[in-house]
Amino acid sequence: MTQLRAREPLTLPEIAAMKGAGPKIVMVTAYDHPSARLASEAGVDLILVGDSAGNNVLGYESTVPETMDEAVMLTSAVARARPRALIVGDMPFGSFQASDADAVANAVRLIKAGADSVKLEGAGPMASRARAIVGAGIPVMGHLGLTPQSATKLGGMKAQGRTARSASQLLADSRELEAAGCFSLVLESVPARIGTAVTEALTIPTIGIGAGPGCDGQVLVWHDLLGINEGPAPRFVKRYADIGSEIRRGLQAFAADVRSGAYPGEEHVYKISREELDAFEAELRAGDGSAKA
């Protein structure tokens, strides 16, 4: 069994103090126990149990079908790794849109599952949801720009804030979420100059994903940055490893060894003493004799 070390998690004041000072904030997604452990050992600051698990882990075509039960299960798995990174539980589509009461109740479920905070997409009516959750004593991370849960309304998975009007609305929305009590804000797929402008206008940290280097931190999806996902990646993705190819190579080697008989080898099998084997075989022979009789 893996020995769990005592958890000394980062705190919200520590995250807040990283805005505009010192190293940038590092956030990655993680959806299970070993991934959370590795992320924490690598020194990341925030682990987002993203609804991107829907398409990266659960096999859905988008983030939208992920359920609260699934989000709770994944958050619990991450929390059991006891990472030092602060855990952000992503609120799935349908878990907060209907009412403030629903939003608070579902945020409480994620906190009970082990999250330190929650994230929700959008502003406008969603600012009320953020305010209600914060009012219940739960830290909230906002999310603006490309919001995958509402990508259909936005015209698809496209960059946002590329006109003066939409950039101004993005800035207004970010201020609204800050006023609602959000402790940080994800900016996804917006022009770098707009990402910088929003970051400079806020007192809370921004975490960019395709929003340029001017944000206070950056986040990437685990399966994108480690090369597990195949096919074209969003423009903002940088692959730091090719784990997918290595996994495939290992599985192919295992299959070849099994089929050829090379695995298991002598070093992989358990032994029995000659005396115990003789006794076992004697019992087998006696049993065969009884069956024939």
Please count the other Cβ atoms lying within 10 Å of the Cβ belonging to residue 137: 10
Q: What is the spatial distance between Cα 255 and Cα 266, in angstroms, rounded to a whole number? A: 18
- Which residues are the active-site residues? 188
Beta strands in 158-250 (DSSP E): 184-188, 206-209, 217-220
Q: Phi first, then psi: what are they for 184, rounded to 5°? A: -165, 175
Q: What is the spatial distance between Cα 48 and Cα 121, in angstroms, rounded to a whole number? A: 13
Beta strands in the chain (DSSP E): 25-29, 46-49, 86-90, 117-119, 140-145, 184-188, 206-209, 217-220
